[in-house]
Amino acid sequence: MSNEGGAGERNELVTSVHVGDVLSGKYRIERVLGSGGMGVVVAAHHLQLDERVAIKFLLPEGLKNPEALVRFEREARAAVKIKNEHVARTIDVGKLENGAPYIVMEFLEGSDLATLLRSRRSLKVDEAVEYLLQASEAIAEAHALGIIHRDLKLENLFVVRRADGVMSVKVLDFGISKVTGTAGSGRDMGMTRTSTIMGSPVYMSPEQLHSTRDVDTRTDIWALGVILYELISGRPPFSGDSMPELVAKILTRPPEPLLNLRPDAPIGLERVVLRCLEKDKALRYGNIAELAMALVEFGPKRARASAERISRTVSAAGLSASALSLPPSSEINSEPPKQGTMASWGQTGPHSGGGRRGRWGIVAIVALVLVGGGVMLLLRKSAVTSPSTVVASPHVEPAAMIAPPAEVPTPSSPTPPASAASSASPSMATAEKPQAPPRVALPTPRLPPAAPQKSPGTPPPTTKPGDLGGRY
């Protein structure tokens, strides 16, 4: 940030623009917010709307560079097409009296992620993931419109505080974005013929180092992987004392393992970052939605909304038909998913035991039925030990087999009371056995019961209407 003293000095470099000037009859220049190699951004006041805005100008050296002019116009056109809340809105464009262009944007209060990281050294894992998912929302919409950013870096991710207190990322600077299709191809080809490096080398993918013109959406996925690695570890995955050394590392060497620098980071998150940083772009995530699905379990619960919006945006644009379902956790890491992960997306790992529990329940029920049948059979066998018991048919109700009514002997019967009690209950059937028990017929299905054999001197048994014998 420049102070107002620097503002006067920098304003002298902006063609005929000074603090207090009013542009187009409505924008009053207040102060300089920041400057770069080719441009400067100032704060201004919209007189009709009573609203603060930011205005971006090209510096005199930028005005002399045809490539810089093309990039400046491209930034305005690309940013105005993207309606996502995570992109700094473009409000207006115009030209000064000398023909120099300017862009009017929403005014942002906060700091970029580079400034935030310098003050904190590293961020918490869930915070870093949430920032990356918010930026990915903007990039998903850009990709759906055929726009590749090509210059994603910490300085182009600006953090502001929303009205509800939640920190929110705004993606800046689409100045070197690539517009796919015929409309953008000619200008891109012209720009790549110059010796200017398009992008920030630390965040550039191997294919972007080879040819800026031939990159696709996966070059943005590489840059997002570099950003996430840097936010968590506090330093970029590739660095060098010279440009050739840096380029050689990006092209040939793997990054230092993230867990060496941040041991508390989930191992699954390291795998996500390493996939973003695959040298071969075919091995990276195929689109921004696949990356969001892989990241969502490492962010806070509210980050799920960002992942869902990214998935819908990519799917609606026809960029992927597979981006709507969360891949199984085994494809991301071996740790159990955190509470709040998206089972409704197709994740079945934590719940796959339900079928096994159902099958064990059926086995248990069958076992109980078999055991119960065996007990019933034993009770039936014990019930026929008395001479006065009639053999039951297989169709007798279970209640009759368990508790047959007791027999009442006639007054003239010489049988002692204990013998009569032996037929009253299965549990008492073995209390006192006769000295010469008769043979008992075994139950034979669908045959009439065999007549019991009489012992000498034993009177015939008597039955009541409610007895088992009363059924035949």
- Catalytic site positions: 151
* 3 state DSSP class of 259: helix
The DSSP letter of residue 284 is S
What whole-number distance in Å separates Cα of residue 108 and Cα of residue 171? 11
CB 81 within 8 A of CB 147: yes
From its phi and psi, is residue 130 left (phi > 0), alpha (psi between -120 and 50) or beta? alpha
What's the one-letter identity of residue 61?
E
Place of tokens 């590739």: 238
Helix pair 288-295, 303-316: axis angle to 10 deg: 160
Cβ atoms within 10 Å of 71's Cβ, excluding its own:
24
Query: Residue 72: what are its φ and ψ, rounded to 5°?
Result: -65, -45
Query: What does the block give as tokens for 260?
Result: 């060496």
Per-residue tokens: 134: 């918010």
**Surface-to-core class of residue 227, CB atoms within 10 Å of its CB (0-12 exposed, 13-18 middle, 19+ buried):** buried
SS3 category, 201: helix
Distance between CA 223 and CA 151 in Å, rounded?
8
Residue with tokens 């205005």: 55
Strand pairing report for 147-148 and 110-112: unpaired
Q: How wide is the angle at C-alpha 317 spanned by C-alphas 224 and 298, nearest 5°?
A: 35
Contact 257, 277 (CB under 8 A): no
Per the rule left: phi > 0, alpha: psi between -120 and 50, beta: everything else, 310 is alpha
DSSP conformational letter for 87 = B
